[in-house]
Structure 1
Amino acid sequence: MIEIAGLIILGLLAQWLAWRLKVPAILPLILIGLLVGPLSTFITPDGSKFIDGDNIFNGEKIFDVISISVGLILFEGGLTLKVAELRNLGKTVRNLILFGTIICLIGGAMAAYYIIGMGVQASFLFGALIIVTGPTVIGPILRNVRPNQNINTILKWEGILIDPVGALVAILIYEFVISGRPNEQFTFFALKGFLLTIISGVVVGGIFAYLLFHLLKKDLIPGYLKNIIVLAFVMLAFVIADMAHEESGLLAVTLLGIILANLKIDDLKKILSFKEDVTLILISFLFVMLSSRIDIADIQLLLNMKSLLLFVVIVYLLRPVTIFLSTHKADLKLNEKIFLSYICPRGIVAAGVASIFSEKLSSLAPSDSNVMAFDAHLLMPLTFLIILGTVVIQGLTAKPIANLLGVTQKEPNGVLFLGANETARFMAKVLKAKGIPVLLSDTSKANINEAKSAWLPVYEGSILSESNIEDLDLSSYGHLYATTSNTEINILACRLFGNEFGKEKVFRLVSPREIQMVDLSKPKNLLFKGATDYMGLAQLFKRTQLVQTQKFDNKEQMDDFIEEQNGKIVPVFLEKPKNVLIPFTEKIKDIDKGDQIIYVKKHV
């Protein structure tokens, strides 16, 4: 019990450290796992580990725990994949998925075979395991580096799409490897097992997706049970598929997630949010446990020139070949291609699937397996070497390399709106007309539909959820306008995004209480200088959308003009040359010649 609790607590501690240090969570997860696992043997009197995953789950149980955990992680990944988005992806991303899979599979297999001396079957299995990158490791790097739009889009979508693709390839290669009878590898028997895996996974995944869709669509599940029932369906689909044919469970739940993601389900976002919370706990627990299972002998076995050469070939040869082949006709500059070649961190799916196959193959008798025990024993430590090496090196050096290559994005001038109400839509239209990127977020269907009718980009959901923030591409946005009717929510948003954008770049509406208390010292980040609250602005923008401007030579002229209007106008923005729009707040101190205010007139 103590060890299980310790794994969960240490995993969540690692997630917190990753947030504080702004590094991919995998890095502290693996390091903590190694510290309480193999490295702890140097300081314990009897040479035992502080925590050892093998002692917690014995025999087949550890295989079952890892399998179900990876299955749930893959289901959550499947829920993020939209077929429409796949169709609209550029050739570069599609090529990366295609060529990246083939080059990593064949190149990784050749490297393992010729450099490490692994068998053919195990080498191909290793090549399949290192295909995936994953959004959980790419996301933090992109947020820290802020590369230009081309790089950001390519790496983001590659990470999302390659995760389930790589896992499926690994599953199918594994099935092909173990299905052959002695001296009959890659024959009818192997092909039969290969096809049975696909058929079982597709059939079970499709049936459960159909059942679950109709249960959700017809409201046959109460709201408070939906997340739990979906979780139960995923686990049941996994078990039934695996009973039909071994290793088809992972394929079934991935397809189940993909199918549900492409059907119109009202509560899909809530289900996805719940699954993300479950996945976060599983990833934290799983990575620390898997790292703790590695032995010092495994680490010593990898500390040699062969392992280093394998790492160099996979990271610094295969990746550049993939990028330059995939982007041959793409409109990308050489420095962009070099940076794309440099970034290829591996993630949780690679580690989880490697552990499953390593455990499974190690449990087979040599006469029943096409893979030597030595090869199976190497799969997990070699995969962890690639994961840890790429995350450490690229996580720590991506930003200076991006700066050196000149591929970082200029200070983003886009505006993220909390709320898609009348005020937000009005301000967004003004900004959009000036060529400034905008994104409105709301949970109200009425506001969302109004924003869409006005051809304004809108995110359907709450941006105050950390998981949603990770899903959003914020590379074009550097400011937040909190415009909801709830002052507490607006303040919370400013606090949250103040850490992301900077405290001087977050703004909110004034509350009625702040307006009433005239002697109260007001914050400097209040939109419209805190002169009008949510209700007053809603009524104003319902009545008029007419935008007017007035130029000034200095601040005194502007102040005199506003005073002369005697409250008949509401200044919205201060516009400077080159379409630089600053929200009208108390922060405005200096006016240069030619600056102008953008305002609307009140109906009195």
Structure 2
Amino acid sequence: MLDTVMFTLMFVVVLGIASQWFAWRFQMPAIVLMSIAGLLVGPIFGWIDPSESFGEMFSPIISLAVAIILFEGSLNLDFREIRGFNKPLYRIVTFGAFIAWVAGSLAAHYVAGLSFSVAFVIGGLFIVTGPTVILPLLRQAKLKPRPAAILKWEGIIVDPFGALLALFAFEAVMFIDGEVSLHAFLLFFAAAAFAVAIGWAAGWGLGWMFENGNVPEYLKSPIVFATVILAFVVANSVMHETGLLAVTAMGIVMANMHIASIGDMRHFKENISVLLISSIFVMLTASLERETLLQIFSLPIVLFVLTMIFIVRPLSIWLSTIGTDITWREKMLIGWIAPRGIVALTVSGYFASVLQESGFPDAEILIALTFALAFSTVIVHGFTIGPFAKKLNLASSEKPGVLLIGGNIFTTELAKSIHELGHEVCIMDQSWQHLSLARQQGIPTKVGEILSEQTEYNMDLTPYPILVAATEVDSYNALVCTNFVPELGRDALYQTALQHADMKDFHQSLGGKMLFDETSTIFHLNERIIRGQVFRKTQITEQYTFTQYLRERAEEALLLYILRANEKLEFFTANKELQASPGDTVVSLTPPVKEMAKRQERIEADRLKVIEEENE
């Protein structure tokens, strides 16, 4: 076994990120690949054992990683996001969580065979889903905003409360058995309040310092990073698992202070979280023992997992959302998706040991029980969330839509051509007047500032994975593209050619890909439309190849984009030549000569047909 600390650390990080890349490349659930990779290199082949390599540092590393991941998730919990559906969300994280606790505890006792005391504790822990599993699934499935927001908020809010609920259940069991005094039992609530106070104070204090210029820009992310660890450790030192509550409170406070630099911090934390999630999943699964893997296939554990997936979760969602405006489709999806992740795996190990020490021998199966539930839900929900959401019409269209920034003649005609090919499209501009032509053509429009923070909450950008900035201001186009690099990626961002030569050096490091060619400024494109040039769609076939099309096209024709046979849209750019294959459709902006010739040919063919019919 190669168990040196340096090798193990390298292997875990590389394997985790490689799993993420393979998941992206082959459109598979990332958490599934990470879990399988950990099992293969750990208990199955025995190449690494992180728990043995890291020794006493294993649990602290996992705990700190979970704290950072949970903070990053809570940093996205802006209350403006849940306007209009805060009632069902509140019911799910309160009444729904309580139902899941009671039903899960009953299932653990009557199905898995645990004693009431142990079942009562582990039932509280199993209400968690958490950002470590929910966020990768949402990134993969691309759900519509409301179900995605509900699942995200539920996962992040319930994550610390699930651990605290299990801790509360344990303290209650110890109090009923006479192992702890009433004073010690009440100390649990004081510790939870203390954790919230620490998180609130840390979040508000940092926000105030940032807004008043007391921290330089380059130190903001490092200071946040250090404060998260500080708040987690201080709260956890008072009572186990309350640190998760502290970092969640800290993130929510900072998210709702609307700090100017929150976006940069969020992107930094998101990158760190991807690295941590990848590594931690591999570490946990690679550290499992073979006996634990064999134990999860026992009949009571299998039946318990099935009960949790098909009865407990749907029941808690359907009962808790009675009387709300949440649709039956949303209930079906949310009631199905509840993967368990890192918090459940790590905290169950803690309770397995303390419960056994307290005289509950049946707690020895908690690790196997938790892993069975976590791995099963990760696999099942990872592979089904996308197809199930599409079946319920709660996923964005498979055909990539295009968001055009700037209302003018060219963007209107471009949007019309994309719309006619069956793809979603929208033109956005600050001016109502600039969008009048698009409205007349029946093209979806949106009046507003794409860079405004309000746009994120007032407009669903999920259907538009491609953005084209085509206003008359080059610097604004570049700013829009640069702003959306973290969300969409640079490969999905385009802007029209620069109007001034001295802007080209500026464009090398900022902005999106330059559309079409270096001469196609928005003024040049608008002028082409005014001169009567038209959008022409040409199907490439085995008989009519792309090479033949290029040879026969009009000299002034401008290649715009290709609609691939798999419905993928690709724009021609100044620095990349595209090749079309049979089944693809090439769209170009061409002089109307060929269109007039084709129209004349059709008229002549119709005339000859009429003559033939008269002769007959």
TM-score strictly above 0.5: yes
The residue aligned with 2:186 is 192
Partner SS state of residue 468, structure 2: strand
Query: Which consecutive unaligned segments of at least 5 residues does structure 1 have?
Result: 41-48, 443-447, 461-471, 515-524, 542-547, 556-571, 573-582, 594-604
The residue aligned with 1:133 is 129
* CA distance in 2: counterparts of 1:21 and 1:413, whole angstroms: 17
Which residue of 13, 17, 29 maps to 1:8? 13
Partner SS state of residue 259, structure 2: coil
1:477 is aligned with what amino acid? Y
Q: Deviations over 1:309-334 (max 9, x none)?
A: 11111111122223332444455665
Does 2:489 align with 1:485?
no
Q: Give matches, 1:296-335, under 5 Å.
A: 296-330=290-324, 334=328
Partner SS state of residue 587, structure 1: strand
The residue aligned with 1:458 is 455
Question: Contact between 2:93 and 2:157, CA under 8 Å: does it hold in 1?
Answer: no
Partner SS state of residue 338, structure 2: coil
2:254 is aligned with what amino acid? L
* Structure-2-length-normalised TM-score: 0.69
The residue aligned with 1:33 is 38
Count, aligned residues: 509
Question: Contact between 1:23 and 1:141, CA under 8 Å: does it hold in 2?
Answer: no
The residue aligned with 1:165 is 158
Which 10-residue stretch deviates more, 421-430 or 67-76?
Answer: 421-430
> What value does the CA root-mean-square deviation take over the aligned residues?
4.7
Partner SS state of residue 111, structure 2: helix
Residues 99 and 67 from structure 1, CA distance in 2 versus in 1: closer, same or farther, beyond 3 angstroms?
same
Question: Contact between 1:133 and 1:162, CA under 8 Å: does it hold in 2?
Answer: yes
Residues 56 and 362 from structure 1, CA distance in 2 versus in 1: closer, same or farther, beyond 3 angstroms?
same
Q: Give matches, 1:15-26, under 5 Å.
A: 15-26=20-31
Residues 417 and 458 from structure 1, CA distance in 2 versus in 1: closer, same or farther, beyond 3 angstroms?
farther
The residue aligned with 2:575 is none
Does 2:71 align with 1:65?
no
Query: Which consecutive unaligned segments of at least 5 residues does structure 2 have?
Result: 1-5, 412-427, 502-512, 537-559, 561-570, 573-585, 597-616
Does 2:276 align with 1:288?
no
The residue aligned with 1:568 is none
Q: Give matches, 1:221-300, under 5 Å.
A: 221-300=215-294
The residue aligned with 2:360 is 372
* CA distance in 1: counterparts of 2:335 and 2:286, whole angstroms: 31
Partner SS state of residue 416, structure 1: strand
Does 2:84 align with 1:79?
no
* Structure-1-length-normalised TM-score: 0.70
2:226 is aligned with what amino acid? A
Q: Give matches, 1:349-360, under 5 Å.
A: 351-359=342-350
**By how many angstroms is 1:232 displaced?**
1.2
Q: Deviations over 1:360-402 (max 9, x none)?
A: 6526772xx3x63541x43333223222212222322344445
The residue aligned with 1:43 is none
Question: Contact between 1:480 and 1:506, CA under 8 Å: does it hold in 2?
Answer: yes
2:429 is aligned with what amino acid? R
The residue aligned with 2:378 is 391
* CA distance in 1: counterparts of 2:131 and 2:239, whole angstroms: 30
* CA distance in 2: counterparts of 1:35 and 1:146, whole angstroms: 29
Q: Deviations over 1:542-574 (max 9, x none)?
A: xxxxxx99999998xxxxxxxxxxxxxxxx9xx
* CA distance in 2: counterparts of 1:128 and 1:407, whole angstroms: 30
* CA distance in 1: counterparts of 2:222 and 2:407, whole angstroms: 31
Partner SS state of residue 114, structure 2: coil
The residue aligned with 1:362 is 353
Residues 420 and 144 from structure 1, CA distance in 2 versus in 1: closer, same or farther, beyond 3 angstroms?
farther
* CA distance in 2: counterparts of 1:135 and 1:592, whole angstroms: 54
Question: Contact between 1:320 and 1:342, CA under 8 Å: does it hold in 2?
Answer: yes
Question: Contact between 2:292 and 2:367, CA under 8 Å: does it hold in 1?
Answer: no
* CA distance in 2: counterparts of 1:492 and 1:83, whole angstroms: 26
Question: Contact between 1:439 and 1:458, CA under 8 Å: does it hold in 2?
Answer: no
* CA distance in 2: counterparts of 1:211 and 1:496, whole angstroms: 27
Q: Give matches, 1:424-435, under 5 Å.
A: 425=429, 429-430=435-436, 434=442
* CA distance in 1: counterparts of 2:315 and 2:298, whole angstroms: 25
Partner SS state of residue 31, structure 1: helix
Partner SS state of residue 116, structure 1: coil
Which residue of 175, 199, 207 maps to 1:205? 199
* CA distance in 2: counterparts of 1:425 and 1:39, whole angstroms: 56
The residue aligned with 2:496 is 509
Question: Contact between 1:438 and 1:477, CA under 8 Å: does it hold in 2?
Answer: no
* CA distance in 2: counterparts of 1:441 and 1:139, whole angstroms: 27
Which 10-residue stretch deviates more, 260-269 or 401-410?
Answer: 401-410
Residues 108 and 216 from structure 1, CA distance in 2 versus in 1: closer, same or farther, beyond 3 angstroms?
same
Residues 380 and 414 from structure 1, CA distance in 2 versus in 1: closer, same or farther, beyond 3 angstroms?
same
**By how many angstroms is 1:155 displaced?**
3.6
**By how many angstroms is 1:533 displaced?**
1.8
* CA distance in 2: counterparts of 1:533 and 1:387, whole angstroms: 53
Residues 474 and 358 from structure 1, CA distance in 2 versus in 1: closer, same or farther, beyond 3 angstroms?
same
Question: Contact between 2:232 and 2:247, CA under 8 Å: does it hold in 1?
Answer: yes
**By how many angstroms is 1:101 displaced?**
1.0
The residue aligned with 1:587 is 588
Q: Give matches, 1:92-103, under 5 Å.
A: 92-103=88-99
* CA distance in 1: counterparts of 2:67 and 2:535, whole angstroms: 63
Partner SS state of residue 344, structure 1: coil
Does 2:463 align with 1:476?
yes
